[in-house]
Structure 1
Amino acid sequence: MEELETLAAIYPELEYDEATLSGSLEIKAAFDAVEVQFDTKHTVRHLPPVLLFFALPEGYPETKPPQFAPQCEWVDEEHTRQLCSDLEELWETLKDESTLFACVEMVRERVDDLFGLPQPLRLPEHLKNTILSHDTYADREKFAGMSFACSICQETRKGAVCTQLSCSHVACTACLQEYYSSCITQGQVELVHCVEVECKEPLEQEQLLEIVGQDSYDRFQKLLVKKRLEKDPNSVDCPRTNCDTLVFRKPGEYMARCSKCRYTFCVNCRKAWHGTYRGCVIDVPPDELLKHYLDADDEEKRDIEVTWGKANVETHLRRLERSEEDDKLFRKAMKEANIVACPQCTVPIEKSDGCNKIKCAFCLAAFCFLCGVSVASNDPYAHWRDEGGECYGRLFEGITEEELQRRGELAMMGVVEDD
C-alpha cells in the first residue's frame, strides 16, 4: 500500500506486512532528562520507547478507522485508552490516506510530552530495573557512536573503544587499562584517578574493576589498606628482601618482629636486633638524597625516613647544613683573598699580579682567573677573544698601570713572560 511505503520512508524503523496491512513502530521520547520515582528518586535521560502496533482493516480509510494497540511500561492504562480514543477522533476528522501518518505524529507528540504525566513520574517498583537498565543501555549506545580525543594517546577514538569516567572525562579504554595497571603494579595507588591534568577525581570502584580486572583490583585494595596503615607512626616495612609485610611496634620501642618471616630487627637502623646496650650501625644517606628530602612531600619524606631512619636523616641533614655553610664561608674567604681553585686539581691559587691567564704550579693546567674555566693549550687566548663570552676583552682586567708599563718595556726588549 502506498501509504505504508510513504510512512516507511519517513520512519525507517517501521516494520509492516503488506499482506495483512499491519505493522509496528518504535517511538522514542525526546527530552533532556526526567525524574522518575520508585522507592527512591532517579534522573534518567532515556525512557523505553512506545511500541505502536497498528492494523488497517478492510474499508480503511473511508469507513473503518485504523486499529492501534500502543504498548509502554511507563504509561498507565488510563492514558493509553485516552490516546486510542483521540486517534479514532482524528480518523473521523480526516478519513483519507494521510490518516495513518497523522496518527503516528499524534502519538509521537504525546510521547515527547510524556503523555502530560506529572513529574516526577511515579512508577511501580517492579519497573525500576527495566527503566534504569534501559537508560544505561541507551547512554552507552549514544556514547559508542560519538568521537572523543584521548588525553593519554592524543588520538581521536570512537566511544565504543573508550571509557567515560565518573567525572565525565573520556579516554581510550586500552590506555586507561595500561596506565592504571602500571600504577598498581608499581604501588603508586595515589595516581589512580582521572587522567586529565586538571582533574584528580577518584574512580568509582566498580569502574576500576571493569578496567583493570580482578587481580589488579585486589592488589589495589591491599595497597590502599597498606598506605593507610603506613601513616601510623608505629608501623614500618619489614627490611628483609621480598618481604613487604607491614610490621607494628609498641610505641617508643625500637625492636619489632615481622609476623610473616619472623625477622626481629631494629626500626632505627633496620638491621637485625642488636639489643639496647649496643648502638646502631647506620649507613650514611647520600647528600643528593638529603637535598631531595628537603623538597619532598610528606609521603616521600616518610619513605626516606623508613628506609634510612628518621633520627639518622635528621643527624645528617644537620651535618649537610654545616658542611654547606662551611663551603660558603670558604668560597667567600677565597674570593676576598683573590684566590681561585684550579679547575683540574682544585688546588687554591692566589694571583698577585699579571694578566688573568693562570697556569697551575701543581698540574700545569691553564685557566681563566676570572671565571675559573680551563682554556685550550693550543690557543689559550681565544677565551678572551670570544665576543659571546663573559670574559671577552678582560685578559688584563685588574692589572696595574705600572705592571702594564713594565710588560710593554719587556715586550720591546723581546722578553715574553710566562703566566
Structure 2
Amino acid sequence: MSADTQEQEDELLALHSIFGSEEFVRDESRAAGEIRVSAELPANFTVALKEGETLRQYEMSFLPPLLLTFELPEDYPSSSPPSFSLTCTWLTHAQLSLLGDQLTDLYQATGGAVVLFTWAQFLKEDALRFLHIHTLLELPSVEHSTQDPLHDLSSAAVAQADQSGQEDFLHEGSVSCPLDQSVQGAASLPIHPREPSPNGDQTLSGLSLTPSQALLSQLLIYDADQQQKQFATMVFDCGVCFMSCLGSDCVQLSDCGHIFCQVCLGQFCKLQITEGNVRGVTCPQADCTATPTPAQVKSLVEEELFSRYDRLLLQNTLDCMADVVYCPRLSCGSAVIQEKSSNAAMCSVCGFAFCVACRKTYHGPDCQANGNMKKHTEDDAEQTKADLPQSQAGLKALWDDYATGNKQRRHVLESKYGHNVLQFTMEEYLSEDWIVFNCKHCPHCYTRIQKNKGCNMMTCSRCGQLFCWACLARLSPLDACEHFQDSPCSLSRYRGI
C-alpha cells in the first residue's frame, strides 16, 4: 500500500469518526464520498426576497447544508487535490465558483497534506464571511435576475480539475435546477434531480410558485424543522409543575413562547374543554392570553374531546358575530350570514329564504316585527328555534354543553334552541337508557347513583355505604383516604388535577 493510499484511508476513517451519518457518506466502492456542511449563522440572520414593491424578510437560525462531493485521485494528497463538486440551493453559481476556487487555494497552501477536514471547517465557519454575507442573505427575484433564475440560483456542480489537467470529476451544470434537491441534501451518490414544470415554476402543495418563492418556502420549512429538532433535545422547566423535562415532552406556545410539559398542558386543556369553556383554553401562565394552536390541542387531548373543542370553538365564534343568524327551519338550523342592508337571508345549506326579523318565510322588506307592531309569544318563538340533534350522541353532546356551560353559554343555547324545548327534551333525555349509561350501582344495596360533581369518594343516599366511584370498592370511614393513596384511583374528579 502506497503512502498516499494509506493517508487517504486514514483521512476517510477520521472523517467517519468526526461526522455523523447524516453529515458524512462514504462511497465504499472507491475513495469518494459526500460531506454535508451546515454554515454557522450569526445572530439575527435574515433571508430576504424582494418581488416588485414587496419585501419579505424572515429571521432564520438554520440554512440547508452545502454538499461537498469528492473523489480522491491516486496521487492525493502528495501531488493532486481531490476532485470535487460543491452544491447548494441558496447560493448562486458565481458564489459557488468563488468557494470552489478558495478550496483549491486551501489545498495549495497545505503543501501536499490532507485537506478534506480543512475544507469542511472553512465551509462551516468562514464561507459566509468569505462571500461577504454577514446578517442578510438576499435571494435573487425573477425581476432582478439577469438570466433564468433556475440557473442563477444555481445548484450546479462547481467542478475543479487537478493541476495535471485531468478531466473534471463532475461537469459544470450537471444539476441544472436550483430546486431539484430537497433541502435535506442528497442522501447518496449520485444526485438525481426532479423534473421542473413546463413553465419553469415549481409546485408546492398544489400551488404554482416562482423558483425564488419555492426556494424561500423550502428554507423556511427546513429552518422550522431544525429548530424543532433542537428544541426536542434541550431541557426546560414546565411553567406549571416546575419539573425539568426534555423538549420532546414539552409544548411551546408560539404566540408567547411559554413552555409547559405535555402532561400539565394536556390536563389544563381537558379540564377547560370538559367544562365547555373553550375560550379558557389559553396559556396557563398568569395574565397571558396566548392560545395553543388547534394542532397542539389535538395532540394533547383525546379525539372525542378535540371534536367537542372544535365544535364549541366554532359555535362560540359564530355566536360572537353580530351578522350571523340561524336558519329557522327545524330540520336545518345552519348558520347564515345576514346582509346589513336587508332583512332577507337565505340558508346556503337548505336554500330556505327567510326574514331575519320575524324568522318566517321571507315576505318583502316590510315586517311588523321591525316596528314592534306585533310581538311573538314564547310558544311562537319556540317554534322558530333550530331543531335539536336527532342522534343519541348529538343530544348527549348538547346536554353536556348546556349542563356544564356558564350562564352566558346557557343563554346562547336557549336563544338558539329555546328554553322550554331544552328543558323538556332534557327530561325526556333522562330516560332509562341515559340513566344506565351515566349511573353506577351502589356496591352494597345496588341502588343506581348518578354523580355530577364532587370527588370520587361517594356515599350511597339509601344505605349510607361509603365507596369509590372509580372502582366501586367499599370503603371504611376510618381508612377511606388511604384507598386513594394506595390504588390507581384518584380522589379528584379529574385524574391528575
Using structure 2 for the length normalisation, give the TM-score.
0.46
Classify 1:209/1:227 alpha carbon distance in 2 versus 1 (closer, same or farther; 3 Å). farther
Q: Is the 8 A contact 1:36 1:42 kept in 2?
A: yes
Match of 2:267 among 174, 178, 183: 178
Q: Which amino acid aligns with 2:64?
A: P
Is 1:36 the counterpart of 2:47 in the alignment?
yes
Classify 1:19/1:301 alpha carbon distance in 2 versus 1 (closer, same or farther; 3 Å). closer
Identity %: 26
Classify 1:219/1:305 alpha carbon distance in 2 versus 1 (closer, same or farther; 3 Å). closer
Aligned to 1:57: 73
Q: Which amino acid aligns with 1:132?
A: L
Mapped to 2, the partners of 1:248 and 1:160 lie a distance apart of: 54
User: Secondary structure in 1 aligned to 2:46?
Assistant: strand
Is 1:200 the counterpart of 2:210 in the alignment?
no
Matches within 5 A, 1:286-325: none
Is 1:152 the counterpart of 2:168 in the alignment?
no
Classify 1:18/1:151 alpha carbon distance in 2 versus 1 (closer, same or farther; 3 Å). same
Matches within 5 A, 1:12-411: 12=20, 13-17=23-27, 20-31=30-41, 32-38=43-49, 40-111=56-127, 113=129, 115-117=131-133, 119-122=136-139, 124-166=212-254, 167-209=256-298, 211-212=300-301, 215-225=307-317, 228=320, 255-256=377-378, 257-258=381-382, 259-260=385-386
Q: Which amino acid aligns with 1:225?
A: T
Mapped to 2, the partners of 1:71 and 1:306 lie a distance apart of: 61
Q: 1:125 Cα shift? A: 1.6
Q: Is the 8 A contact 1:35 1:120 kept in 2?
A: yes
Mapped to 1, the partners of 2:412 and 2:28 lie a distance apart of: 81
Q: Which amino acid aligns with 2:269?
A: Y
Classify 1:219/1:181 alpha carbon distance in 2 versus 1 (closer, same or farther; 3 Å). farther
Using structure 1 for the length normalisation, give the TM-score.
0.53
Q: Could you say which structure has the greater relative contact order, defined with CA pairs below 8 angstroms and 6 or more residues apart? A: 2
Q: Is the 8 A contact 1:3 1:97 kept in 2?
A: no
Q: Is the 8 A contact 2:76 2:82 kept in 1?
A: yes
Q: 1:254 Cα shift? A: 8.1
Mapped to 1, the partners of 2:259 and 2:112 lie a distance apart of: 51
Alpha-carbon displacement from aligned partner over 1:70-108 (angstroms, at most 9, x marks no partner):
211111111111111111122222232243332222222
Q: Any stretches of 5+ residues in structure 2 without a counterpart?
A: 1-8, 141-211, 326-334, 336-355, 359-368, 389-404, 414-497
Q: 1:197 Cα shift? A: 2.2
Is 1:3 the counterpart of 2:11 in the alignment?
yes
Alpha-carbon displacement from aligned partner over 1:311-368 (angstroms, at most 9, x marks no partner):
xxxxxxxxxxxxxxxxxxxxxxxxxxxxxxxxxxxxxxxxxxxxxxxxxxxxxxxxxx
Q: RMSD value over aligned CA atoms? A: 4.0
Aligned to 1:394: none
Q: 1:154 Cα shift? A: 3.9
User: Secondary structure in 1 aligned to 2:266?
Assistant: helix
Alpha-carbon displacement from aligned partner over 1:203-243 (angstroms, at most 9, x marks no partner):
345544554455134223234236526x99xx9xxxxxxxx
Mapped to 2, the partners of 1:109 and 1:154 lie a distance apart of: 37
Q: 1:20 Cα shift? A: 1.7
Q: Is the 8 A contact 1:23 1:53 kept in 2?
A: yes
* Higher helix residue share: 1
Mark the structure with the bigger radius of gyration.
1
Mapped to 2, the partners of 1:73 and 1:102 lie a distance apart of: 22
Mapped to 2, the partners of 1:3 and 1:41 lie a distance apart of: 41
User: Secondary structure in 2 aligned to 1:116?
Assistant: coil
Classify 1:120/1:182 alpha carbon distance in 2 versus 1 (closer, same or farther; 3 Å). same
Mapped to 2, the partners of 1:2 and 1:302 lie a distance apart of: 75
Q: Is the 8 A contact 2:279 2:313 kept in 1?
A: no
Mapped to 2, the partners of 1:215 and 1:94 lie a distance apart of: 65
Alpha-carbon displacement from aligned partner over 1:167-207 (angstroms, at most 9, x marks no partner):
11111234323322331231212311111124222334554
Classify 1:82/1:112 alpha carbon distance in 2 versus 1 (closer, same or farther; 3 Å). closer
